[in-house]
Amino acid sequence: MKALITVLPGDGIGPEVCEAGIRVLEGIANKYDHHFEFSEQLIGGAAIDAVQDPFPTNTQASCAESDAILLGAVGGPKWSDPNASIRPEQGLLALRLALEVFANFRPVKIFPELASASPIKTTRLEGVDIMVVRELTGGIYFGDKTRSDDRASDLCIYHRYEIERIIRIAANLASKRRGRLCSIDKANVLETSRLWRDVTINTISEEFPTIELEHMLVDAAAMHLINRPAHFDVMVTENMFGDILTDEASMLAGSMGMLPSASLGDSTRGLYEPIHGSAPDIAGQGIANPCGMIASCALLLRHSLNLTEEAENIDNAIQDVIHSGGRTTDIAEPGQVALSTREMTDQIMDRLL
């Protein structure tokens, strides 16, 4: 197979984990006789510094021509002024809109060997296997914004079609798992959530009658993610709620560095990235955990290139390294030797069967 993959290293540790992802994809290509071409482009703070545009024209063109996009991270203290007219996060939002990726998948599965790295009691982590589906291109992040000296507003809008399509995707995922779907909203307060709940009920009852549907308010969901996380199978929610809850859910796994994500739309072209940020405090030290990025590469192979065997090979290699005691600084216990980003990547590549 031939595929063009745009790589957007971005800021902070983004270039370091992208390098790890590219190495693993090249290893897969060599083993299975594929040809992956990589086009590295600017985004975020790095793009602002270079061309004063967080999502430059060249980057847009490369993404449009690619089979998949691999993203490191954007942002950092250098560009953290929320009042700045140009910010790294604008590049990320523009990228999602340009690709028309409206569904963000964030799997949260616990490695038993890493349960002690989580701040949550290990007894509450048994059996945790969650898929969070976040609506990605609607809601308050994309609504009209106003600001004066003493007043500000952010408009939250959802259309019926936006809700229907994300619910269908989440329900299809649930049907292939344990058949349970939990829809997260704030229907006791927000009109957008009341529409969300009504559309969800109608869509599930008419199209997915065998799915077990549960509704949960977002504040209750935040509590139950910590108190009884194994209760959840597939969770689906709107943009801002999903942004917050998925970061919370990452702590179940012990580190944000372990978790991947995939953002998809109606086509096979997807956006793949670890869920962590740019981590400027460790950037350039070579100690970032590459597992989230490498697992994102597995999602890329599975969803955009339909290379299921290759994706499973990567997932199994990560699992084997963790089982064998491979640890980066963020998941190492006292007394354990912490591997560098490159050493962890080396160990994963050594296990690509």
Residues serving a catalytic function are: 141, 186, 219, 243, 247
Enumerate residues 6+ apart whose C-beta is below 8 A from 281: none
**Strands 234-237 and 180-185: what pairing?**
parallel
Token pair 């693993």 in the structure block, residue = 24
Pick from 106, 41, 69, 72: nearest CA to 269: 69
C-beta separation of 195 from 138 below 8 A:
no
According to DSSP, the β-strands at 2-10 and 129-135 are unpaired
Residues 134, 139, 144, CA angle at the centre, nearest 5°? 150
Q: Which two tokens stand for residue 75?
A: 């942002």
The H or E element that residue 70 is part of is strand 68-73
Strands (E), 155-285: 180-185, 212-217, 234-237, 260-264, 270-274
In this structure, what token pair is assigned to residue 143? 């609504």
DSSP per-residue string spanning 179-223 = SEEEEEE-TTT-HHHHHHHHHHHHHHHHH-TTSEEEEEEHHHHHH
